[in-house]
Amino acid sequence: MATIGAFAILLDDDGRVLCVRQNYPPREWTLPGGRVEPNESPLAALHREILEETGCRIAIERYVGTYARTDADDLVLLFAARILERGAWAANGEIADLGFFAPAALPDPMNPRHRQRIEDAVNGRSGLVRVYDAPDRLLESFLP
């Protein structure tokens, strides 16, 4: 069965990207977000995941695009959002660390697909589709 994820790019006042480091293998840095649960909308999942992972309440501003991996039957929806409120945060079983990073100085390790998502969002793209047929091999793109 396919999985669907909802993720967001959140920028601070200096244009830095909020990234989170996973506390499970492969322990990579990524954008905050996660999987849509049964009977949950992607937007509800996004708000829930952002709050769980960062302590932030957000307002969604635009839809960036869809990222599909045919080899993993996985679909990711990416949104640009702004932070309305920052609550307390502490490392937990899912997220080991978080921080704001300049788009040109993203932390390592970070998957190339995640870097592409950040680049797409920072460059103001909307409504795009990128399809990968292997973990890091782009098969096709639609850029409106």
Q: Provide the 8-state DSSP code for 12.
A: -
Classify residue 144: in a domain, yes or no: no
Q: Provide the 8-state DSSP code for 43.
A: H
| pLDDT attached to residue 85 | 96
Supply the mean pLDDT for the chain: 96
Interval 95-122: pLDDT, tens: 999 999 999 999 999 999 999 999 999 9
Q: What is the token pair recorded at 63? A: 């839809």
| pLDDT attached to residue 135 | 84
Classify residue 23: in a domain, yes or no: yes
Domain range for 114 is 3-137
**Above pLDDT 90, what percent of the chain?**
96
pLDDT of residue 74 exceeding 90: yes
Classify residue 124: in a domain, yes or no: yes
Regarding pTM above 0.85, the answer is: yes
Q: What is the token pair recorded at 2? A: 């396919």
Which candidate, 45, 56, 54, places its Cα nearest to that of 84?
56
Domain count, the chain: 1
For residues 43 and 62, what is the distance between their CA atoms, to the nearest angstrom?
12
Which candidate, 29, 11, 33, 7, places its Cα nearest to that of 20?
29
For residues 68 and 90, what is the distance between their CA atoms, to the nearest angstrom?
31
Model confidence at 1, pLDDT cuts 50, 70, 90, reads confident
CATH number for the domain that contains residue 74: 3.90.79.10
Q: What is the token pair recorded at 73? A: 């039957």
Classify residue 103: in a domain, yes or no: yes
Classify residue 143: in a domain, yes or no: no
Classify residue 60: in a domain, yes or no: yes
Interval 84-100: pLDDT, tens: 999 999 999 999 999 99
Classify residue 142: in a domain, yes or no: no
Model confidence at 66, pLDDT cuts 50, 70, 90, reads very high
The answer to whether the CB of 30 falls within 8 A of the CB of 110 is yes
Average pLDDT value for residue range 24-53: 97
Model confidence at 13, pLDDT cuts 50, 70, 90, reads very high
DSSP assignment of 2-50, as one string? -EEEEEEEEB-TTSPEEEEEESSTT--EE-SEEEPPTT--HHHHHHHHH
CA 80 to the chain's CA centroid? 9
Q: Provide the 8-state DSSP code for 107.
A: -
Average pLDDT value for residue range 40-60: 98
For residues 50 and 62, what is the distance between their CA atoms, to the nearest angstrom?
16
